[in-house]
Structure 1
Amino acid sequence: MPNHAPHGFARTERVSGQIRRDLAILIRDRVKDPRVGMVTLLDVEVSKDFAHAKIWFDVLQADQGLDAQTALNHAAGFLRRELGHLLKLRMTPALHFFYDDTQSRGNALSVLIDRAVASDQHPQEDAATDTDAP
């Protein structure tokens, strides 16, 4: 008989989700470093032995991403200790923060595509008005 986790979630996925929720609150309420600012946690990946957790995040202002990464990795020990009080695990994973600017790059790409589409549509409109002239 296969050993399935309830609701199709593996334990590492459940723990990752809980770490993400708890870290979001801890970062918002307890981290006072001004370099952190408005951080959005995008994903948490916990190793199978629960020794390490990789946390990907984004920031509101893209130019502050690397500063926020430095600050969060500096606060990782404090956050790990606080997280240990909240989680019911034998061992709290070491936290490793990574700035993920995929959304920012995606938004910039969307703007470029929109501009290209708009510039393609304008020559067609100009050509249509030229053929209508007597």
Structure 2
Amino acid sequence: MSELRCARINQVLKERLSEIFIRYLRDEIGFTTITDVKVTPDLRNATVYYSVIGSDEEKRKTAKSLENSRSFINVEMGKNLHIKYTPVIKFEYDDTQEKASRVFELLNKIEEEKIVESSEKIHKPSRRPKKRSKKSKK
């Protein structure tokens, strides 16, 4: 299958899944975002990457709800897809956003520490060199 066709199908699946999430699963999955969809070249399987804003408990609840709703989601997706086979969906949690947030936190912390260190150097009294005594000329 051409890469362009796979990319288009990935986009269509992502849009259709978003509609299904909003229409049918909103109460069960909370604030869930589909971050990416990857269909296999034979179009038989698709991996759906998602992220959840919330506690670990909400993330577990969402994962369970998505897994329990897989067959329903496949049926709903198949109604409007105009391809020979509806891909079998597999859900994968995407923690990229969390990792990126953690990296930014660490970078900000390092930056703050540098600012504190530089301000301490600025405010630290400097040692003045001792005055040299003038030697008399003979």
TM-score bracket for the superposition, by shorter chain length:
0.7 to 0.9
Matching residue of 2:48 = 55
Offset of residue 70 of structure 1: 2.2
Aligned AA for 1:67?
A: K
Unaligned runs of 5+ in 2: 129-138
Unaligned runs of 5+ in 1: none
Offset of residue 66 of structure 1: 3.4
Matching residue of 2:136 = none
What pairs up with 1:79-118 in 2 under 5 angstroms?
79-118=73-112
What pairs up with 1:1-134 in 2 under 5 angstroms?
10-31=4-25, 34=28, 36-63=29-56, 64-131=58-125
Offset of residue 133 of structure 1: 9.2
Query: Which one has a bigger Cα radius of gyration?
Result: 2
Deviations 1:46-96 (A, max 9, x none): 111111000000011152333312211211110010000011011101110
Offset of residue 100 of structure 1: 0.7
Change (3 A) 1:132 1:54: same
If the length of structure 2 is used for normalisation, what is the TM-score?
Answer: 0.82
Deviations 1:29-55 (A, max 9, x none): 112552x11111011001111110000
Within 1, Cα distance between the matches of 2:71 and 2:123? Answer: 66
SS in 1 for 2:61: helix
Aligned AA for 1:110?
A: F
